[in-house]
A = this chain, B = another copy of it.
Amino acid sequence: MATKLDRTPPLLRAFALLEHVVHADGAVSLLELTELAGLPKPTVYRMLNVLEDAGLLQREPEGRRVTAGPRLARFALDALLSEAVRAPRHAILKRLAEEVGETVNLTMLDRGEVVYLDRVETAWPLRMTLVPGSRVPLHCTASGKLLLAMLSAVRRKRVIAEMTFERFTDNTIIDAKHLERELAAIRKAGMATDNEEYLAGLVCVAAPVTAAGRIVACVAVHAPVARMPLARALLHLPALRVAATALGKSFEN
């Protein structure tokens, strides 16, 4: 968890510092934070003062180390409560993961990339190892191709025009023409696969999530090809579709 803040956008540096403080569970000294953050002492020093003035951090009685402040506590409570709204969605994924016995995830299209909304891993049920905000390319993932296929022709053209077809494996689709053909097939099938196109040895099957008549997201299962060859993965399609329907409902209202 030694996230250096060097490369963090300045806007987020203050927040990242807070993350370090709460993650440390207990009081932290300026020097420790300096090290954790990988920033020069005066920089951290100034930030701490600002955060303290704002009530986000508190100094320990002895004055040296800092801990979470009242405003931070309040914020955390609000955040957790607001997150609870999403519990049903997560539960749907969890049940799907149990049923198919493999990792499942929920994705959407955002600014020309696939972004992970949520994910449930079966191997490690209680910990979400989803790298926060992780994004994957469109052209080499089941979700990406499916989301792309379901766009209107106009938008699809626009997105494809902006794409760079980076090659990840031997199976990666690396030109627009080939991709268009694939997308047509996907539209016809109403689902998409990733046959080791992004990571060698990993296959994936994705089904569309519809809300209010539009494809808004995508639910997918993936696994090592050794454990789940594509043919077997396809058998999970019915379960995926059931979950997709439930998820779609959860997005309406």
A interface list, Cβ under 8 A from B: 9-15, 18-19, 21-27, 47, 50-56, 58-62, 67-88, 90-92, 94-95, 98, 108-112, 115-118, 126, 128, 130-135, 154-155, 158-159, 161-164, 209, 211-212, 214, 216-217, 246, 250-251, 253
Complex interface: chain B residues within 8 A of A85 (CB): 22, 26, 67-68, 72-73, 76, 155
A34 to chain B, nearest CB (A): 17
Which residues from chain B contact A10 at a C-beta distance below 8 Å?
Answer: 11
B14 adjacent to A74 (CB under 8 Å): no
Ordered nearest first, which 6 A-B pairs have the shortest CB separation? A55-B133, A55-B132, A71-B132, A67-B84, A76-B79, A91-B162
Q: Complex Cα distance A71/B162, Å?
A: 28
A-B contact pairs, 25 of them (CB 8 A): A10-B11, A11-B13, A12-B51, A15-B15, A19-B78, A22-B79, A23-B82, A61-B216, A61-B251, A70-B130, A70-B132, A70-B253, A73-B83, A74-B251, A74-B253, A76-B85, A77-B251, A80-B108, A87-B111, A88-B112, A90-B111, A90-B112, A91-B112, A91-B162, A158-B250
A13 to chain B, nearest CB (A): 7
Residue from B54, B58, B214 within 8 A of A117 (CB atoms): B58
**What's the nearest-Cβ distance from chain B to residue A108, in Å?**
5
Copy count, this protein chain: 2
Question: Are A76 and B80 in contact, with the CB atoms below 8 A?
Answer: yes
Nearest B residue to A9 via CB reads B50
Chain B CB within 10 A, most for which of A24, A72, A212: A72
Instruction: Judge whether A112 and B87 touch: CB under 8 Å.
Output: yes
Q: Which residues of B contact A77 (CB under 8 A)?
A: 76, 80, 211, 216, 251
Contact yes or no, A133 B52, CB < 8 A: yes
Complexed CA–CA distance, A74 and B76 (Å): 10
Known: A55-B132, A60-B251. 6 other contacts (CB 8 A): A69-B132, A75-B76, A76-B79, A88-B162, A94-B162, A95-B164
Contacts A75-B19, A84-B68 hold; do A133 and B90 have CB atoms under 8 A apart?
Answer: no
Assess whether B109 is in contact with A84, with CB atoms less than 8 Å apart.
yes
> Do B216 and A164 touch across chains, with their CB atoms under 8 A apart?
no
